Structure 1
Amino acid sequence: MANSRYEYVRNRELPDPLLPNAYFVVRIDGRGFHKFSKHYDFAKPNDLNALNLLNAAATAVMRQLPDIVLGYGVSDEYSFLFRRRTELFDRRASKIVTTVVSTFTAAYTFLWPQYFPDRPLVAEMLPTFDGRAVVYCTKKEIRDYFSWRQVDCHINNLYNTTFHALMDKGGMSNTDAEARLSGTVAADKNEILFSQFGINYNNEPEIFKKGNVAFRDLKKLVEGEEQPENLKLEDMNLDKEFSSKNAKAKARRRIQKAEIVVQHVDIIQDYFWNERAPWILADE
């Protein structure tokens, strides 16, 4: 860039690096999505097509950014966990967040016709998302973060399922349904669903109750290699020390080839972390 007397304005751009050698999560949320979902007539309390679109957009983000090791989404939000020692964009928060948000929004908009072919987007009502980056220094904090999001998913879904049952099946108004559920706990809502409408909440689809867990199936990748004895899960950990830059680049390319799967499983208990994806919070 040529020097000029106006170049001083570059000094107003302040550095915003995220804490080094620490995990961080980028969480995106739909902006004005209540109005958006109403305009496009999303099914209530859950729209399966909308959730599948959400997952498709999240998968597109993870495919572009191999430094993301886990995603979790529900409703109109998605959380992306980055590996602890990533140097993506020199860990600049603004560049990372805007890249995630813009990639997600572009994918969501581009893929929309596949999931809502009879409801084309209009310029006055386009999907938009905001985002933030939050640093977590320990594995426990990461586990607690994703447990928090999944518990939130369960609480909201149980409430919404009961709320809409009272209106759609029970004939209540919005105000009456809110009043009926005021002060109730989970057991009360389960009882309302079962005794009044014959709905066993335990039989509701797992995607609604547990949300969406997106990750690279590196175990499947390793087991699918022609010589699996020469490739171990530890080789998929980009945070470990590599013998050369070429070796690390090769590992990164291999990771990008891995299938990104979306499952609807419990991520509060130990099983997922210990058995399904031990590389997500891998040690050095």
Structure 2
Amino acid sequence: MKECEIYSNIKPPCGCKVVARLDGRGFHRLTRELDFKRPYDPFFADCMVETSINLMKEFSPIFIYTFSDEINILFEELPFNGRIEKLDSVLASFTGTSFILCLLKKFKRDNIRKPISFDSRIIPLGDHLLVEYFKARQDEAWRNCLNSYAYWTLRETMDKKTATEKLKGLKSGDIHELLFERGVNLAKVPTWHRRGIGVYKRIVTIKGYDPRYKKEVKSERKRIVVDKKLPIFNEDFFKTIEGIK
């Protein structure tokens, strides 16, 4: 029956970068049931970061970008020989399990009423589209920030239906004004709310002591860093990421 496995050897085109994008499934229900803070919960964000770090350690991608319940993983060399079926299934299951393990540090098993899952999709990109892709995802992070702050600020004094109706059809400038009138200046909220979080490797200098020569020595090591103060993505930023050619 091996011949029936018609999708098992599908791979991305040769010579391109590949992004795996993972999205939490049913996370509106999850955040409601676990009573996370709105619009942004630090523990939830920490779990997304911890999951991203676990992905970095397990699969050695170049760069991971996360916001809300989304994780984008940039690969130079693909695991599983690039088999898309394998990539999608393993990345999704690994991400879901990692996220649950983080939740269990704070919540009891009984608090998590349903299984947690992520979907996964594989996106091949030419080098010329790399910055454009991540800029588009960062733009989505900004829209998510703008709309989330607006909705949950209104919910302080309105029910769900009224808040939704009030925001319907408003442009970005109108929402800014609405928030400003209620004492919320988005320019002053944490950068990661507006631009997301990056997880990547950076070369750092390590100081040590060599007892043989009785002197201080320096060496370079790659370390995983969590960047919560990302700039607006551009070509110059991606030139600083270790491994991107």
The Cα RMSD (Å) is: 2.0
Report whether the alignment pairs 1:166 with 2:149.
Answer: no
TM-score normalised by the chain length of structure 1: 0.76
Amino acid at match of 1:201: L
Match of 1:72 in 2: 65
Amino acid at match of 1:259: I
Count of residue correspondences: 234
Match of 2:95 in 1: 104
Query: Which among 24, 32, 37 is matched to residue 26 of structure 2?
Result: 32
Match of 1:154 in 2: 142
Cα distance in 1 for residues equivalent to 2:81 and 2:124: 15
Query: Which among 89, 93, 113 is matched to residue 104 of structure 2?
Result: 113
Report whether the alignment pairs 1:42 with 2:27.
Answer: no
4+ residue runs over 4 A deviation: 225-228
Q: Does the 8 A contact of 2:131 with 2:234 survive in 1?
A: no
**Alpha-carbon shift at residue 46 of structure 1 (Å):** 1.3
Specify which structure has the higher proportion of strand.
2
Cα distance in 2 for residues equivalent to 1:141 and 1:55: 25
Report whether the alignment pairs 1:95 with 2:95.
Answer: no
- 1:1-284 residue pairs with structure 2 within 5 A? 9-14=1-6, 15-66=9-60, 68-83=61-76, 86-114=77-105, 116-117=106-107, 119-121=108-110, 124-138=113-127, 140-168=128-156, 171-195=157-181, 197-217=182-202, 219-220=203-204, 223-224=205-206, 258-274=223-239, 276-277=240-241, 279-282=242-245
Specify which structure has the higher proportion of helix.
1
CA, structure 1 residues 262+97, in 2 after alignment: closer, same or farther (shift >3 Å)? farther
Q: Does the 8 A contact of 1:55 with 1:262 survive in 2?
A: no
**Alpha-carbon shift at residue 211 of structure 1 (Å):** 0.8
Amino acid at match of 1:167: R
5+ long unaligned stretches in structure 1: 1-8, 232-253
CA, structure 1 residues 151+101, in 2 after alignment: closer, same or farther (shift >3 Å)? same
- Show CA shifts across 1:80-114 (max 9, x none): 0001xx25222111112222222212211122222
**Alpha-carbon shift at residue 158 of structure 1 (Å):** 0.6
Amino acid at match of 1:205: P
- Show CA shifts across 1:189-219 (max 9, x none): 1111112x122111111121111111111x2
